[in-house]
Homo-oligomer: A and B are copies of this chain.
Amino acid sequence: MSSNSKSKAQEHFKRNLSSRQQRFRAADLVAGVLNGDRNALSTALTLLESSLPEHRTIANEILTGILPHTGKSLRIGITGVPGVGKSTFIEAFAKEVFTHSNHKIAVLSVDPSSPLSKGSILGDKTRMNELSVHPRAFVRPSPSATQLGGVARNTRESILLCEAAGFDLILVETVGVGQSEVAVHGMTDFFLLLMLAGAGDQLQGIKRGIMELTDAMVITKADSGNEQAATRAKGEYASALHLFPERTGGWVPKVFVTSALQANGLSDVWEELKSFQHWAISSNYLHDLRAKQNIHGFHEYIGLLLNEQVQRNQRYQEVLKHYLSQLEENQLTPFAAAELFLSEMFKSN
């Protein structure tokens, strides 16, 4: 039996689970996840990422079951241009944390690019080899969803599953394609921007607006003769950050210089994260931030779902195309086009 027909048979089997079986399976997986069982966690994540409605139904039941046991981690978003050394930093940083604490670390990725185009997933898998076999780590490569909205939703809910499984430090890495940094910023507590020393040209890859989302900047690869440039860059970024307006809640972002190779500066980053967590909880910042993120996510998903509805319906697609071309030819104002489009959509319901 080829692996292809085997997986088809599996799908057929799964499709035909009765709703009683589904409920049983969901309860089973909830118990497994809450017990910290990695297989249960992996299965739950796979169901979450699946595009089959039957899988989503089970995933939704699992989510409802684990929700009361979520929220206790520190959620850290990590971004930086390709080549900045994200995976290397994450691996070295996790090792540092494991040495000084009992934390359990989960690493998730948001990568809206196709797995065929860049090979970044395979790259990550290779590079995080050491971390992924650590008993207190869980590394989940990016799902291959094509839509950022879908990826963002999956990742948001993956965070919850990892929390329920006992991971109390969640690192969400983004490769920085499209709007992925903004999406990751919207589902994490602390946003870490990794930077290379020798600014200027290197910076071109960081998109506008990202620096201002940053809770801390980390200059990587301060080794092998690169130390002076890193220290200089630290000064430059620190004064640039100084020019930015104050963060909501009053948190002041700092710049750190690190070397994953020599394990330098990583403990400073870890201390900073701990003091952030302490401050964020005691000042109620974390509570307010997450409530805001939930409500923002709710509104975002409404847009996403409406969008899906339009994309699945051929007539909607044609109507949309019509109004967009009228817009392009300056025959309608954006508002008039929106009004006409909506009246068409609601008419047919």
Contact = CB atoms under 8 A, between A and B. Distances in A.
Contact of A240 (B243, B324, B328): B243
Interface string A130-163: 0000000000000000000000010011001000
Copies per complex? Answer: 2
Contacts of A246: 204
A276 interface: no
A338 B297 CA distance: 9
Interface string A269-295: 000000000000000000000010011
A216 to B, nearest CB: 15
A200 B71 CA distance: 36
A261 interface: no
Given A68-B330, A298-B324, A346-B349, 16 more contacts: A156-B335, A203-B244, A205-B245, A208-B244, A208-B245, A209-B212, A239-B240, A240-B240, A297-B334, A298-B341, A300-B334, A301-B338, A302-B338, A302-B342, A306-B306, A306-B342
Interface of A: 60, 63-64, 67-68, 70-71, 153, 156-157, 160, 199-200, 203-209, 211-213, 236-237, 239-240, 242-247, 291, 294-306, 323-324, 327-328, 330-339, 341-342, 346, 349
